[in-house]
Amino acid sequence: MTTEADEPELRAHFEETVAADRRVEPRDWMPEAYRATLVRQIAQHAHSEIIGMQPEGDWITRAPSLRRKAILWAKVQDEAGHGLYLYGAAETLGADRDDLTRRLLEGRQKYSSIFNYPAATFADVGVIGWLVDGAAICNQVPLCRSSYGPYARAMVRVCKEESFHQRQGYELLWTMTRGTAAQREMVQDAVDRWWWPSLMMFGPPDAASPNSERSMAWRVKRHSNDELRQRFVDMTVPQADRLGVTLPDPELRWNEERGRYDFGTPDFAELARVIGGDGPCNRERIARRTAAHEDGAWVREAAAAHAERRARRADGAGVAR
Amino acid sequence: MSGTEAVDGGWPLFEVFVRGKRGLNHVHVGSLRAADARMALTHARDLYTRRNEGVSIWVVRSADVTASAPDERDPFFAPSGDKVYRHPTFYEIPHDVPHI
């Protein structure tokens, strides 16, 4: 039981743990703001995984071969799994799963803006794997060292699996770019549409990201938005060259002095608009998630009723649960 | 684990332990919600062993876990802190004694 008198000491111990790069575990004392920040970040991350099943999910039934169908199916199933690891991590902070779902459906918690863009062609499946999952990996690898233990451990699992996602995407594009002229055009078109939204995944520029500094002090976040964006560009340009596609940024060029690429500024007004609910697919994504949740209600209720009846019978027969 | 039961008649929380391969202990890998233990097992298989990560799974209701106090500073672990004589390196033995 924590009394007010204990708090300065508990806080000092917490700060010391975080500063020494040790992990904070679920039942440790933590400042309420740390808990709230983590719940918001982990929930948003979990929601992104779940909503992120939709753009590619559309292509499962339309994949051009059994091989591609099986791969895509496995990938979308992984996204569901990632969402569940993360909901589990959020629950260790006292968040309630049903409540998190409600907040998503009511628009009170966000998910990544990227999933509000449509997957127009099958080349989009490849580009999502390459760029969107590539950007996600860039964001997530440092989170494997996040100060909150359950989040860091979930991210280790997620990152291992994301690597398959990115590689299957690149391989798909590699195959298409070695196909017909029409296929190459499809790939370039998809790259043109996804490049800027992918850069927006790293969030607003550092100067406009008010919570970043505190999150970094708490080691909930390990690098700034702009630093991660730069890393992603530096990693991706050679991959684009190898693929033979053009990234749609006239300002993109190697900067010898910095040893990094210079690149243009994403349209952050568009990012704000999409986060605010006015992207190409926001309504469709939430409507679909809501329908899935409501259509599944009878299954959840039936399973709970079945479990309860079995437990009652077992009790009646004097058998342990 | 939070140790909380579901509200509103929802599914309870289970902790999942996976044995990676024969010869290793079961290790805690995370949690999930399920209507009962049998469903928790199949969900755990789908969630935590999609890539041959395990040969055996245990699930236990989170509410049934009794845990020690969270912090390593806790006096709970103090009894083992000052007993260096429980470690082999505590004992000085002449260098020329073999096999010890």
CATH of the domain at A37: 1.20.1260.10
Give Dmax over CA atoms of chain B in angstroms: 70
Asked if residue B61 belongs to a domain, the reply is yes
What pairs with residue A256 in β-bridges? none
CA atoms within 13 A on the CB side of B34: 21
Interface test mutation site (partner A, options B31, B49, B52, max chain A beta carbons within 10 A)? B31
A277 CB-near residues (< 8 Å, 6+ apart): A107, A283
- Mark residue A14 as left, alpha or beta (left: phi above 0; alpha: psi -120 to 50; beta: remaining): alpha
pLDDT < 70 stretches in chain A = 1-5, 317-321
Of chain B, the percentage scoring pLDDT greater than 90 comes to 63
For the domain that residue B78 is a member of, what is the CATH number? 3.10.20.520
Place of tokens 């699930």: B59
A218, A18 in Cβ contact below 8 A?
A: yes
Burial bucket for residue A222 (CB in 10 Å: 0-12, 13-18, 19+): middle
Residue B48's domain comprises 13-82
Asked if residue A309 belongs to a domain, the reply is no
Domain count, chain A: 1
Residue A33's domain comprises 8-279
| Chain A residues bordering chain B (beta-carbon distance below 8 Å) | 13, 25-29, 74, 77-78, 81, 84-85, 88-89, 91-94, 96-98, 150, 153-154, 161, 300, 303-304, 306-307, 310-311, 321
ipTM of the complex: 0.88
Domain count, chain B: 1
pLDDT of the residue at B8 = 46
Asked if residue B5 belongs to a domain, the reply is no
pLDDT of the residue at B78 = 78
Arithmetic mean of pLDDT over chain B: 86
B33:A154 CB<8 A: no
Token couple for B66: 């009794």
Asked if residue B1 belongs to a domain, the reply is no
The Cα–Cα gap between A219 and A149 comes to 11
Q: Model's pTM, two decimal places? A: 0.91
B32, A84 in Cβ contact below 8 A?
A: yes
Helices A282-295 and A97-105: crossing angle in degrees, nearest 10, is 140
Arithmetic mean of pLDDT over chain A: 94
A306:B11 CB<8 A: no
pLDDT of the residue at A4 = 60
Q: Which residue in the set A96, A303, A311 is minimally distant from B7, CB to CB?
A: A96
